[in-house]
Amino acid sequence: MRIRPRQQLLDLWRAVLAYSCRSGEWHWGGRDGPNSISDAEQLLCLLYPATEIDAFALDQPDEMASDAKKALSLFGEETRIGGTLVDLIDKYLDHYTDAEGHPIFAGGSYLHSIDENPPNEAQSALEVVDSYSMSLSLCIASLRFLRGFERFVLGEVRLEARQLRDRIPSVIDKVSARLTAAMTGLVRSFVINTPEPNSAAGREILTMINQSHSPAGDVLDQLATRLERLRVQAANEVKLAQPPVNRTATVEREIDIADDKRLFECGWGWGIVKTSGPIVTPPSRVGTAVGYAEPRPYLYFTAVALDGIIDLSSQRLRELELLNDEQRRLADALTLRFELTRTYWSTVARFDSGRWPLEDIPWRTSDGEESEYFSLAVAAMLIQDLVYRNSTEDLERTVAVFDQLARRGRITSRLTSADPAAAIHHPGVRLRLAGSEAIGDGPLLQWYVPDFATMMLKRCLQAARLRTDVDIRDQLMALAESAMDHLDRSLLREGDARGLWDDPRWMPNGAESVPQDPSWFVTERVMECLVVAHGTFSGPPLAPKAMITRAVDLLSEAEHLLNQEELEVQGDDLSARQAAVDRIRHSLDRARRVLRERPGTSYSLAAQALTELDELAYARQDATR
């Protein structure tokens, strides 16, 4: 399926409004019911494209694109769209703020019990990294929109504009408070795990990275050398919310991060980890809440946290100065953890000099769980690292891993009857939230992750931005289109939710009836992929050196022949022949200007010029005869 981000995003906006804006009222919630994550995903489907893509901007009604206005026509005229969005942001914030003014990040209906017993009330209020990360993205998008829209209403004289002028500052304050709390939750959910090599977790890590079956001592030495800089940086700089190194005898002893006799892994747990220290400034419930998550990284939640933190480092965010002093301190702490984590997983994925651990599919985590999804998550972080460094190092081998995962995950191969691979997509990979059973003596909770196809689509589109060769880019775009085909089969085409995701009926384990409500989890991630596609397609095309060389050869010949042709033209010649020579000169000048950025276009212009020059030469010879 061809990826057309502008048209598909507009179609998505229409579908979101058709489902959510019924009878003049906004309906929160989807297939899983309302919760702090699902409602944020629903709102982000509108706000994220509006703040990431200039053509979709909604904060300046006078400059709004006509197709964007048409897609949001259920909100009314363009002058009412901004006010409606302000109202939706305000309602979301009020609903997920407690009586004491503290933001609520409860997972609610996204949390499931591992047995038949439902989660108890305390467990339903459990906060997970998904909520912190999604709220971070929502708050940043909201601040961008609100700041821009505030400038617009300051110049308006209508009564509605005056009311918004008074309301927007208070909404901005609420958004800022939630952003601070979300950043605090992410900092306290970060974990560095240093298991003993002979422990169960240590043996799992060694088995995964030791692809050459070398002695364990040799592997530990090599790993210590490769990760030495990360260890030193983590030990010296990662301080905020980390437990102290020296603990009393009555408390489990904390391990020194710099101890290279131990293994090492870092990332995000599923929520605030047990060993997390408090963050008392600014005072908030998230900063001092008791952590329950097992102190080890979860690949899914690590990838989710990294995606949220990327929004903090955007150029536009810095230019608008949207963060206060405390938020900048938290942002610096998160950026440090972002860099440590992506570098760690990028290094471990390619550790062995022979076969990579990443190429040993499926990836096995330190708790003994294994899945193709975990391999995809590690590959996604490797791509993220390459894109962040603008490097094509080992990209070809990484694309080969994506290709194998696409086949094993039935993106590029056919789902068979009772195919076990279908569970990756529906209901999704099951993650056990170790430590959640300690909350109110409830059952162990689990989290379903059905975003295999969207993760592959997003990373392929991001990798296609790199200045690689044509063959690798073609492979990436072919994988991206296959993932889009897979998602298109899951598009809801009936009922109130048509145009949204997802419909699992085509899968062997899918439902028999048409789902009446959308999955905002999947829909929001499809939206993110389309935004990434827009950014990828907006960039310059590839400029292979071979194509540049061929274009230069043609340009050289064309310009030489043009110079010869101009020797035959008299100075006062105003004929059609002179006009043709001038036109060829302009064409070749254009070919020179675009040579480095668009060598294919330059080649075509030079080839066309050669054809026209040959026609002039032939005409002159014919006239001579």
CB atoms within 10 A of CB 617: 14
- Farthest-apart Cα atoms in the chain, separation: 108
In the predicted model, what is the mean pLDDT of the chain? 90
Where in the chain is CATH 1.50.10?
5-194+267-538
Q: Which residues lie below 8 Å from residue 456, measured CB to CB, with a gap of 6+?
A: 376, 402, 405, 406, 409, 411, 479, 480, 483
Closest among 492, 210, 467 to 351, alpha carbons compared = 210
Position 250 scores a pLDDT of 34
Position 166 scores a pLDDT of 87
Element (H, E) at 266: strand 265-268
Distance separating alpha carbons of residues 363 and 376, to the nearest angstrom: 9
Beta-bridge mates of residue 334: none
Whether omega for the bond prior to residue 427 falls within 30 degrees of 0, making it cis, is: yes
Closest among 364, 456, 451, 350 to 403, alpha carbons compared = 456
Q: What angle do helix axes 299-312 and 372-389 make, rounded to 10 degrees? A: 20
Q: What is the CATH number of domain 5-194+267-538?
A: 1.50.10
Element (H, E) at 371: strand 370-371
- Report the Cα 420 to chain-centroid distance in Å: 27
**Which one-letter amino acid corresponds to residue 354?**
G
Position 321 scores a pLDDT of 81
Predicted TM-score (pTM) of this structure = 0.90
For 449-477, write each residue's pLDDT tens digit.
999 999 999 999 999 999 888 899 999 99
Position 253 scores a pLDDT of 37
* Mean pLDDT of successive 10-residue stretches along the chain, which has 625 residues: 92 97 90 95 97 94 93 90 95 95 94 89 94 96 94 78 87 96 96 92 93 89 90 84 51 57 92 92 86 95 95 72 90 94 96 90 94 97 94 94 96 90 93 93 93 97 91 95 96 94 86 87 98 93 84 91 80 71 91 89 92 86 72
Position 125 scores a pLDDT of 93
Position 596 scores a pLDDT of 85
**Which one-letter amino acid corresponds to residue 540?**
P
Position 539 scores a pLDDT of 87
Cβ atoms of 586 and 533 closer than 8 Å: no
Distance separating alpha carbons of residues 9 and 14, to the nearest angstrom: 9
Position 246 scores a pLDDT of 46
Closest among 586, 580, 579, 587 to 608, alpha carbons compared = 587
Closest among 239, 234, 319, 268 to 133, alpha carbons compared = 268
Element (H, E) at 203: helix 200-209
Distance separating alpha carbons of residues 122 and 565, to the nearest angstrom: 85
Percentage of residues of the chain with pLDDT beyond 90: 69
For 522-581, write each residue's pLDDT tens digit.
999 999 999 999 999 998 887 878 888 999 999 999 999 988 888 876 655 557 778 888
Tokens of 230: 């990360």
